[in-house]
Amino acid sequence: MPPGALEGIKVVELGQMVSAPYCAKLFADFGADVVKVEPIEGDVARRWGPFPGDQPHPEKSGLHLFLNTSKRSLALDLESEAGRALLRQLIAGADALIENNLPRFMRQWGLTYDELSAINPDLVMISITPFGQTGPYAEWNAYDLNAYHLTGASSRYCGRPGEPPLEHGTFSADFFGASAAASWGLAAVYGREPAGGGQHVDVSCAEAIAASFVGGQNIGAYAQDGKFDKRTGVGMSLGAPATILPCKDGHVWMLALETAQWNGIAKTMGDPEWMQLEMFQDMFTRAQNDDAMYPLIEQWTMEHGKMEIMEECQKNGAPVSAVFTVGEAAEHEHLRARGYIVEQEHPEAGKIRNLGAPFRMPACPGGPQSPAPLLGQHTDEILRELGKSEDEIETLRRDRICG
């Protein structure tokens, strides 16, 4: 295998659940040496699931297995000074520290950026929290959905007009915050020379959502004239067709705003006369008459399967796609052909499927190099790298400083 793009970079991960682990995974899957520092009882994600057969097991959590590929695990008791001393020794030789703890915990542990940069001036510390390191909410207890809803994203998306907003799943704020942190954290690592050393990269998941979900279009429009978009349910209010429609075996997402795209759908449907009417020749006019248009299209979609609709519409230049279930996506030939669905052998979970690299770099391809580590799997190995003797390691383990 060619060398990983980030080979030679040493990273310490001090985080649980999603944001810091996913950020560190992006480093690890592209060749960085990532040491995941876990509590003696393990990352909370190990207890989150989903589990095979709904039987909880710390080494079989689907969330943990996805988020922690290509890493090494060191189990430490950070409530003890001896455990924190080992962590500082590890950080002293690292290029980056990725963490998602509340600022007050980092202060209590003596792990602030000022304290750590004193022992490692080149350290890039990447902190990912719901609301950032400063401001009135910096110390608040919060989760992914708190960050998501703070931004106004749920007012703009997820729900029908005039009805209560809906929650947004899949840890969106954590994943978007983690991706932003990986990008700019890596920039800080490679930018240490012009910057004169390391620096503290402060990532607010709420701000990452505000930039990507709500976007400058809405915030900028409000700043200019006090107007902003609201949630529209399914579809778009300005142009049509742009919606989800039922079909014989599920649903399809239909988008055809340009004239050529609309004509492509019409051709697929056999060029019915009503689609040639002047009122349906413009996407804005179609949107104004969608109550008449969508039932007519639905009559046709209900006579066909979603794969047939997608393939035939695509042949005619219309961007229509099937709405896949998770099971269908996991088996999909396109994702497999791109190497995005990978199989791994885990010592406890057995043969598992995982997701490959979301980026493509042929000269130095990334993706999971090893399955998620067992809790403390590399503790002895890492302590030896820190210069600890076998007797010292045994003492640390006996005193429950490490696991």
Q: What is the CATH number of the domain that holds 387?
A: 3.40.50.10540
| 363 pLDDT more than 90 | no
Q: Confirm whether 224 is domain-assigned.
A: no
Q: Which of 282, 301, 325 is the last residue of a domain?
A: 325
Are residues 303 and 353 located together in one domain of the fold? no
Q: What is the DSSP letter of 148?
A: H
User: Contact at 8 Å (CB) between 240 and 287?
Assistant: yes
Are residues 301 and 356 located together in one domain of the fold? no
pLDDT band at 249 (very low <50, low <70, confident <90, very high): very high
Are residues 301 and 350 located together in one domain of the fold? no
- Can you give the CATH number for the domain in which 254 is found? 3.30.1540.10
Are residues 94 and 18 located together in one domain of the fold? yes
| 216 pLDDT more than 70 | no
Pairing of strands 200-204, 250-255: unpaired
- Over residues 269-297, the mean pLDDT reads 92
More confident site: 289 or 384: 384
Average pLDDT, the chain: 93
Q: What is the pLDDT of residue 71?
A: 98
Q: Confirm whether 172 is domain-assigned.
A: yes
| 2 pLDDT more than 60 | yes
- Over residues 234-256, the mean pLDDT reads 89
Q: What is the pLDDT of residue 98?
A: 98
Q: What is the pLDDT of residue 167?
A: 82
Number of structural domains (the chain) is: 2
pLDDT band at 315 (very low <50, low <70, confident <90, very high): very high
Are residues 54 and 147 located together in one domain of the fold? yes
Q: What percent of the chain has pLDDT over 90?
A: 75
- Over residues 299-323, the mean pLDDT reads 96
Model confidence pLDDT, tens digit, residues 332-357: 899 888 888 899 999 999 999 999 88
| 108 pLDDT more than 70 | yes
Are residues 311 and 347 located together in one domain of the fold? no
CA distance 61 to 46: 5
Kindly state the tokens that stand for 42. Answer: 């393990």
Kindly state the tokens that stand for 89. Answer: 């020794």
Q: Confirm whether 229 is domain-assigned.
A: no
- Over residues 131-140, the mean pLDDT reads 95
Are residues 23 and 101 located together in one domain of the fold? yes
pLDDT band at 229 (very low <50, low <70, confident <90, very high): confident
Are residues 73 and 105 located together in one domain of the fold? yes
Are residues 292 and 345 located together in one domain of the fold? no
Output the CA–CA distances (angstroms, integers) from residue 221 to 148, 197, 297, 337, 401, in the order listed: 20, 39, 34, 42, 54
Angle at which helix 259-268 crosses helix 306-315, to 10 degrees, equals: 130
| 297 pLDDT more than 60 | yes
Are residues 200 and 290 located together in one domain of the fold? no
Pairing of strands 250-255, 320-322: antiparallel
Are residues 255 and 107 located together in one domain of the fold? no
| 384 pLDDT more than 90 | yes
Show the domain range for 352: 10-213+337-398
